[in-house]
Structure 1
């Protein structure tokens, strides 16, 4: 069973992503902040990470940049699920190493398809 780390500060959004992933037979670990997300990514070695961009403390862009700079987590694919839908945000996400950028609202199928496309 593939393991996905969710880093999302909104409890309702985190619960929705968890539901979508469990419906599709993924194992889910989650946290509400990027600091804990860094530790979980290094220790749990998930198959992919789903993160928000706008979070307190370390935001999703910084989180991605930190993950990609650390050898133990640099190869983990990252999907941004965010309300930030400007072209500049997408460009900045790509520059930080995000593999896929999805804007809210998104469907269960859209999220699952994105994950399937980046998990080898």
Structure 2
């Protein structure tokens, strides 16, 4: 079973995203802030990471950049999932190394489809 780390400071959104992933056959771990996300990524080496942008300690962009600079985690696909929807946000996420950017609220099939596609691509 593939493991996904979901980092979001909103309990409701963590639960929503986790529930969708579990319903689709994934194992889920969660983090409530950027520091915890980095710690968990190093400990559990998830197959994919979903990051909110606005989080305490370190924001999602900072976490993504740190993950992509670290040899042990740079191979892990990262999805930025945020309410921020400007062209600059999308651009900045990709500059930090994100593999995809999804805007909240999102259709369930968009999130699950993106997760599955990135996991397929990471196996190659």
TM-score where L is the length of structure 2: 0.95
Residues 27-73 of structure 1: CA deviation (Å, up to 9, x unaligned): 00001011111111111010000010011120000000000111111
Pairwise CA RMSD:
0.6
Gaps of 5+ in 2: none
| In 1, Cα distance between equivalents of 2:55 and 2:40 | 17
Equivalent residue number for residue 79 of structure 2: 79
Uncovered stretches (5+) of structure 1, i.e. residues with no partner: none
- 1:5 partner SS: strand
How far apart are the structure 2 equivalents of 1:104 and 1:38?
22
3-state SS in 1 of match to 2:50: strand
Query: Distance in 2 between the 1:93 and 1:4 partners?
Result: 19
Residue 119 (structure 2) pairs with residue 91 (structure 1)? no
> Residue in 2 aligned with 1:110?
110
What is the alpha-carbon distance in structure 2 between the residues aligned to residue 117 and residue 101 of structure 1?
13
In 2, Cα distance between the equivalents of 1:29 and 1:61?
A: 19
Between the aligned partners of 2:97 and 2:28, the Cα distance in structure 1 is: 22
Q: Which runs of 4+ in 1 moved over 4 A?
A: none
Aligned residue number for residue 41 of structure 2: 41
